[in-house]
Amino acid sequence: MYSPSLGIFSINASLRYVFATFQIDTKDGSENQTPTRTIPTFLTLYIFGFFYQLVLVWDALRLKNTIQIIGLCIYNIGLLIYGAVQMEQIKQAVILLANAHDIDISIWDQTKPFLIAIPVILAFGTGFLSVAAWKLYDEFAWTIYKHISADLRMKRRYLTFQIYIALLKFDFFFFLGFTVQFVVIVQTHKSEFALTIAAIPVTIFILVMAAFWTRRENLIGMILTIVCHQKHKASFRMLTNLLLRFFTLLDWRISSSS
């Protein structure tokens, strides 16, 4: 792969610098404010996302899973978009903290170049990763052919299986990241906080059992997994609505303080 460790570690170095700068320059007594928690939460999740990508790269090469390699290219694009969007959220959080005299507004100018560099590095990395994925696709095609022979029905089934397992692996990060962000936001609301904390182990359990029953080709287990997915979808829909209300309130506070 396009030497993923080099790009990931360079991005993580920039993220750690930004994280340390905000933590050092934020004044004592502002820990209970939501903007103060928003910045380190985003940066921590971003750092975890890149290290998790290293695990997925190793896993894809170990299993010679071409679908997962293609998924990693899409995963990179998702991280790129997430970083570009969250840059504006960090700016808004800095403005709110600066208006409350909890941080110096010059911190934004100091860290902005590093936040801009991250999507740029990711864009170049995604291009190299896509070329490597194309080359590996040709390389692994022969291995897959030897594994399942020329049976077209078996080939379609194996492809569907690979797609499903790869989606479960990516879901782990996105579900966990979404839930952790929400935990930080709803700390002052006990009912939503308890519900969100409970959703973390439930999410992990559903993903693990989905992979387990699929590999065992157990019909009853898969039906139970589908039912759990539908129930879990309702709770995530509620959390999404609360998250949207939070960002709407944050935008309103910034507009009213400007």
**Mean per-residue pLDDT for 65-77?**
89
Mean pLDDT of 230-234: 68
Residue 29 has pLDDT above 70, yes or no: no
* pLDDT reported for residue 56: 92
129 vs 180, higher pLDDT: 129
Q: Which residue has better confidence, 25 or 52?
A: 52
2: pLDDT confidence band, cut at 50, 70 and 90? very low
State the pLDDT confidence band at 234, using cuts at 50, 70 and 90: low
Cα–Cα nearest to 239, from 177, 172, 173, 178: 178
User: What percent of the chain shows pLDDT beyond 90?
Assistant: 3
Q: Give the per-residue pLDDT at 242.
A: 60
Is 80 exceeded by the pLDDT of residue 192?
no
pLDDT of residue 216: 86
Residue-averaged pLDDT of the chain: 78
Q: In the predicted model, what is the mean pLDDT of residues 227-245?
A: 66
Q: Where are the domains of the chain?
A: 1-148, 152-258
Look at residue 237 and tell me whether its pLDDT is greater than 60: yes
Given a cut of 60, whether residue 92 has pLDDT beyond it is: yes
Residue 174 has pLDDT above 70, yes or no: yes
Contact between 94 and 103 under an 8 Å Cβ cutoff? The reply is: yes
Q: Average of pLDDT values for 206-232?
A: 83
So what's the pLDDT on residue 189? 59
Predicted confidence (pLDDT) at residue 31 exceeds the cutoff of 80: no
**Per-residue pLDDT at 127:** 87
- Which of the residue ranges 16-20, 85-89, 151-155, 236-240 would you say has the lowest mean pLDDT? 236-240
41-50, 72-81, 193-202, range with the lowest pLDDT: 193-202
Summarize the confidence of residues 224-232 as an average pLDDT: 77
- For residue 25, the tally of other CB atoms under 10 A from its CB is 16
Fold of the 1-148 domain: Four Helix Bundle (Hemerythrin (Met), subunit A) (1.20.120)
Q: Identify the H or E element spanning 100.
A: none
pLDDT for the residue numbered 14:
81
